[in-house]
Amino acid sequence: MPELCALVDAFLDHLKVERALSPRTIGAYASDIAAFVATVEEAGGGGGGIRPEVVSEHLVRLSRRGISRRSQARALSALRTMFRYLREQKLLAADPTEDVSAPKMTRTLPVVLAVPEVERLLAAPPLSTPRGFRDAAMLHTMYAAGLRVSELVGLKLADVDLEAGFLAVTGKGEKRRLVPLGEWAIAFIRRYLEIVRPLWARPGEPAMFLTHWRRPMTRQGFWLIVKRYARAAGIAKPLSPHKLRHSFASHLLDRGADLRSVQAMLGHVDISTTQIYTHVSTARIAEVHRERHPRG
């Protein structure tokens, strides 16, 4: 379908050149839109002739394939963004997503670790080896600053100010924010930079966390690190790097942090994204009441 493909290419070029989105984000848009193009081709539509019914049919097909409602909503959001752009550029007369309702979301509470579980996880790496000490420094940094895994492995030496006790983090949309570090994380980072990193760093290497292969740590590599130490710490619940970020936010709110401060540290654009952690804290309060109150 050359006409639709040309419109898609124009939109993806817009994301790359004008909005300067990351290759990974553009790839996610391209994947969602390619699935929609396949539905349009099967329906026999194209270009300006795409009807809202085809968009609705596409969401139905995603549902039949077992795609989650969250992923369906993301796919619709990608299509909305594309058709809105095409209409603004007068490449389409109408936006076929305008009257299509997004799938209703059932928001599940994030899984968080209890404070003793986090303490066991942070204590799991062996500090007698360079790799163990690097792993401890990474785990302490992620929990202390509530980082996304991509933010953690993307840290550069220039992003770290240990004297001031802050990280300059590059988050989604290349937005920068300052996040404080606690004394424990500062101590581990300082010793890692003094003792371990010089063993592996090539001259001029900007990345902060490196592997013993002298390359920057990857998201996949850190995911394996978290899984390994979760087992060593005897943590039974499923654990991923992102759950450390969930735990960071929940523990701050449990101890009286205000929502706006947590939002700023997490780098959330919309405070409603942060508010889910207030529900986690409420759930924890209810659990404590049940367990501790004599008539709970």
The C-alpha angle 134, 136, 141, rounded to 5 degrees, equals 95
CB atoms within 10 A of CB 20: 10
Judged by DSSP in three states, 207 sits in: strand
Record the tokens describing residue 182, joined without a space. 């606690």
N-to-C CA span, the chain: 63
Q: What is the distance between the alpha carbons of residues 202 and 152, in angstroms, rounded to a whole number?
A: 20
64 is catalytic: no
Beta pairing partners, 180? 166
Given 3-state DSSP classes, what are the helix, strand and coil percentages for the chain, each rounded to the nearest 5?
Answer: 65, 5, 30
Q: Of 16, 84, 227, 268, which one is the catalytic site residue?
A: 268
Cβ proximity of 171 and 267 under 8 Å: yes
Q: Of 172, 227, 279, 284, which one is the catalytic site residue?
A: 172
Q: Of 14, 242, 279, 284, which one is the catalytic site residue?
A: 242
Question: What is the DSSP pairing of strand 166-170 with strand 176-180?
Answer: antiparallel
Q: What is the distance between the alpha carbons of residues 33 and 12, in angstroms, rounded to a whole number?
A: 10
Judged by DSSP in three states, 156 sits in: strand
Strands of 160-161's sheet, edge to edge? 160-161, 166-170, 176-180
212 is catalytic: no
Q: What is the distance between the alpha carbons of residues 33 and 35, in angstroms, rounded to a whole number?
A: 5
Q: Of 58, 140, 148, 251, which one is the catalytic site residue?
A: 148
172 is catalytic: yes
293 is catalytic: no
Q: Of 134, 245, 246, 251, which one is the catalytic site residue?
A: 245
245 is catalytic: yes
227 is catalytic: no
Judged by DSSP in three states, 235 sits in: coil
- Judge residue 208's burial from the number of C-beta atoms within 10 Å of its C-beta, 0-12 exposed, 13-18 middle, 19 or more buried: buried
> Which one, of 248, 253, 249, 229, lies nearest residue 239 by Cα?
229
Which residues form the catalytic set?
148, 172, 242, 245, 268, 277
